[in-house]
Structure 1
Amino acid sequence: MLKYLSLFFFSLIFLTSFAQNSGKISIKRSMNEARRYFFFSNYKSALPFVQQVYRTDTSNAYYNYLLGMCYYNLPLEKSQAISYLVKASRYVDPDIKEWSIKQKKAPFKAWYYMGKSYQSAYKFDKAIESYKKYNELSFFSDKVEVEQLIKSCESAKVLVKDSIEITIENMGRIINSEYDEHTPVISGDEKTLIFTSRRKGSTGNLLADNGSFFEDIYISTNENGKWTSPVSISPNVNTPGHEASISLSFSGNELYIYKDDFGIGNIYVSNKVGDEWQAPVKLGSNINTTSNETHATISPDGQTLIFTSDRAGGLGGKDLYYCNRLPNGDWGVALNMGSSINTSFDEEGPFFHPDGYTLFFSSQGHNSMGGFDLFYTELKEDGTWSEPANFGYPINSPEDELFYVISADGKRAYFSSIRDDSYGGKDLYILNLLSVPEKSSTVLKGIIKISGSEGIPSDLMISVKDLTNNKVVGKYKPNKETGVYTIILKQGRNYEFSCETEHCKFIPEIITVPEKSSFYQINKPLELNPLGMIEKSE
């Protein structure tokens, strides 16, 4: 009998020990899986493994920290992060062993992310308390960044009291998919929408490290007030790698594209000839460097490019730069836009409005509410830019507002976001600016024809002079094959349209743009009559 009892207790101890060891192996395996997904910023896939670890000891501060970090990095579930980070912040230690199942305390960073989570939830006073505590505890914290976060919370408390009236609508399933759509760009007449998507069926059908498909560029057109089903823009543009749309000229004939060239961000341009987009061409060394150039915008007249770069010599992080087009068509030397625009933090996503004098951009500096906020500045008569103004709440929020494009009449903005009504990932939205006054500009659009000739020369340029002050408003290129041109002009003025090629000038035409109280469009076909040949000196 004693023999059997001894055998029973031995077996029980063995099985208990085996179960404990198996449990530890299972927890360790889950921790390793979570670590792997964290490395690739794939928090959605990491979440179930972190939850498995957390359930073994819900009071463990480090486990709470990991779970809080998962939720913080999942936009639609970010609000759940607070309760876990609060528990994590009660037991912190500067010297922890990351990803160990034996780790009991959380890092000091728990206070930082608790502040970020409170800020996202519009609990600005609690966020400020958390940031201050983090600065007190951590010897390694970025004091400048945290002070800016505190400043942004103070700005947010002011901005939310003075909101502007807007409505936001999802662009619908015809445009959006269950995958990410982002960085929309539009033509001046709002008839063409181009955007970037990670949807299934991309060129090459390849998957990135975070489990999403590679980025491709898609195009949709507005026909009778409805957007058509998007299609891949062109096999000339999309490759098995990543391509992202960043800017479209006012005419809709010139598309600027971001590409990652072996870890270095560069800007390319594709031109539309007829109905076909050409293979993108990398911009020259005045723009692209060994640093990262990530975004760009072209002025309505096509003569100025404003872009983002983190090159050396800036004011800090990413700065905005500009360069002008030379007579030979190349881009001139790039110049920093200066401290009135750039800060010691990042500036990103510039957008030159079709009115020709308003620049929108995103910044982590100035009086941001947190993350990137949308700002605007206006070009003054002396050639300098006005002090940037925050676009206001609820357009701006404690999250990142990036890559907005504004319609020519100033009443709509196209942007991407993750919201409760998203179909999955980021979707494209239209923001209606109800309380913003309509811009009193006029779009002039038409087809150029040459009398007695079919087609137009590929080098034809339109020069527009404002007869009020005899200043050239800009120089524009029509579509080389279709002859379609699109130009935006101020109202209540007379303009001289003169066209020329390398070998021929045409009789100028005077066009009157009436003064009206609102934005409107004029359809104006131009039939050119040759004035004479241009003699070229040897």
Structure 2
Amino acid sequence: MMRIWFVLFSLVVLVVVRTGQPILAGVDNDVLKKADKAFAAQQFALAADLYVQVLQHKPAHKLAAYRLGLCYLELSEPSKAKRYLHKAYELDPLVAEDILVAIGDAHHLASDFEEAITYFRKELARAARRDMENIALLQKRIYECEAGIVLSELPPVAEVANAGAGINSELSDYVPVLLPGDTAMVYTTRRLSANGLAAGVEQMRISRLKNGEWQPSEQFLQSESKLQHHAVVSVSPNGQQLYTYYSGKGGGLFCLKWQGSDWSTPERLGKPFNRGAAELSVHVTDDGKFAFFSSDREGGYGGLDLYVCYKKTDGTWSEALNLGPNINTSFDEDAPFADVTTNTLYFSSRGHNSIGGFDIFKSRISSSEWSKAENVGMPVNSPFDDIYFTLDNSLKRGYFSSDRPGGFGAKDIYSINF
């Protein structure tokens, strides 16, 4: 019996020596396998719970710590991500090829901009010179952190608050669209609907403002199937046309018209819209004269660009005009919102001096020329995706969507008080 135990112990030591990673026995090993399977399937919340269990029994399991850190990055919990990615790095600086980038991303998302730059520069120093794509990515991250340092030193531009449980859920809620009068909001969600549509399918909900609070929402046109798989993007000034985006086959930008008691069947917008592979949003100005929209059509500056067209005397739209380099970059620009009172265009971009992901920018037109895009500042913008900005009629309150930490779900709608 002593010989058998000695042989088993020797095998365990051999595995540790050869792999540098202690094995897990029995139930621990089963938990690790389940965690790795959930991680591979991108079920990050489940994987995180399982990796925590692994580390409770094996605190020095470097791969579990590394993957747990990545899970928390995906779950928009950068503080937890920092903890476990640093732990994995301390256990083995070579635990993964991208460990320095992962740590930098965690600090970046936690707004630790200077610390993030340190790790991005470490990775940049060891990057192969011929790997131009990776070098460009690291430089972009550093520029974003440098922009974050500058903007964080400025006074806050507004008060930002979550729009509340009446609108937001544990899943994704985004693209706030105020109906005329500002007392009702239609928005897009990916939650499970009453008619059985699975979570993850885009659908619309509506919430009404009462005594300053957004009331619990309900499915928009829940008795109809016309709007299934459509995401709201904007509404016409008179509230008679609803613009949507459909991502399925034959998708693009659509319009529904109010017929007195019901909405019409969605119709795909014609020329000059829907000429690119992706056209995700459109906004018609309050005077009805101009339409701004995003498109990846040929001839742009890269990714999604913003375009404008005007309403002709015969009621049709003109050819589209690219808004130019003061607005568009080699990265994505999307979600335009124009305020004709101040001649200001608000939009979101991954370029310019974004501090990470999409940031909200503004530009004013004067003498037919758009001013250089200006970051609207913090705390409206964050290292996360901040997009789909809209203003109410008072121009003192706005709304936007963000996947920043602290919300109810993956994406939430937030209010801005200027």
Q: Indicate the residue corresponding to 2:265 in structure 1.
A: 279
Q: Indicate the residue corresponding to 2:84 in structure 1.
A: 84
Distance in 2 (CA, whole Å) between partners of 1:158 and 1:390 is 11
Q: Indicate the residue corresponding to 2:360 in structure 1.
A: 374
1:164 to 1:399, Cα distance in 2 relative to 1, 3 A: same
State the one-letter code of the partner of 2:167: I
Residue identity (%): 31
Q: Indicate the residue corresponding to 1:311 in structure 2.
A: 297
User: Is residue 395 of structure 2 the alignment partner of residue 410 of structure 1?
Assistant: yes
CA contact (8 A) 1:270 1:279 kept: yes
Q: Indicate the residue corresponding to 2:217 in structure 1.
A: 230
After superposition, residues 114-513 of structure 1 pair within 5 angstroms as 114-139=103-128, 140=131, 141-208=133-200, 214-222=201-209, 227-234=214-221, 238=225, 241-262=228-249, 266-289=252-275, 291-355=277-341, 357-380=343-366, 382-417=367-402, 422-433=407-418
CA contact (8 A) 1:353 1:359 kept: yes
Distance in 1 (CA, whole Å) between partners of 2:48 and 2:137 is 28
Q: 1:177-232, CA deviations, whole angstroms, 9 ceiling, x for partnerless residues?
A: 34332111113531331111233325442244xxxxx2211123445655454332
1:149 to 1:274, Cα distance in 2 relative to 1, 3 A: same
Q: Indicate the residue corresponding to 1:36 in structure 2.
A: 40
Distance in 2 (CA, whole Å) between partners of 1:281 and 1:68 is 45
- Give 1:394 shift: 1.6
CA contact (8 A) 1:61 1:106 kept: no
State the one-letter code of the partner of 1:246: V
Gap runs ≥5 in structure 2: 13-22
State the one-letter code of the partner of 2:139: E
- Give 1:431 shift: 1.4
| TM-score, length of structure 2 as denominator length | 0.85
Q: Indicate the residue corresponding to 1:487 in structure 2.
A: none
- Give 1:252 shift: 2.2
Secondary structure of the structure 1 residue equivalent to 2:244: strand
CA contact (8 A) 1:187 1:252 kept: yes
- Choose 120-129 or 352-361, whichever is displaced more: 352-361
Secondary structure of the structure 1 residue equivalent to 2:417: strand
1:285 to 1:201, Cα distance in 2 relative to 1, 3 A: same
- Choose 303-312 or 222-231, whichever is displaced more: 222-231
Secondary structure of the structure 2 residue equivalent to 1:338: coil
CA contact (8 A) 2:363 2:372 kept: yes
Q: Indicate the residue corresponding to 2:101 in structure 1.
A: 112
CA contact (8 A) 1:124 1:154 kept: yes
Secondary structure of the structure 2 residue equivalent to 1:402: strand
Distance in 2 (CA, whole Å) between partners of 1:147 and 1:192 is 43
1:248 to 1:241, Cα distance in 2 relative to 1, 3 A: closer
User: Is residue 52 of structure 2 the alignment partner of residue 51 of structure 1?
Assistant: yes
| TM-score, length of structure 1 as denominator length | 0.67
- Give 1:123 shift: 1.7
- Give 1:150 shift: 1.1
1:120 to 1:227, Cα distance in 2 relative to 1, 3 A: closer
- Give 1:351 shift: 1.1
State the one-letter code of the partner of 1:410: L
Distance in 2 (CA, whole Å) between partners of 1:423 and 1:326 is 44
Q: Indicate the residue corresponding to 1:437 in structure 2.
A: none
Gap runs ≥5 in structure 1: 1-5, 94-104, 209-213, 434-538
CA contact (8 A) 1:203 1:240 kept: no
Larger RCO: 1 or 2 (CA < 8 Å, sep 6+): 2
Q: 1:117-136, CA deviations, whole angstroms, 9 ceiling, x for partnerless residues?
A: 11222221111111111222
Higher helix proportion, which one?
Answer: 2
1:240 to 1:413, Cα distance in 2 relative to 1, 3 A: closer
Distance in 1 (CA, whole Å) between partners of 2:252 and 2:11 is 58
Aligned residues: 404
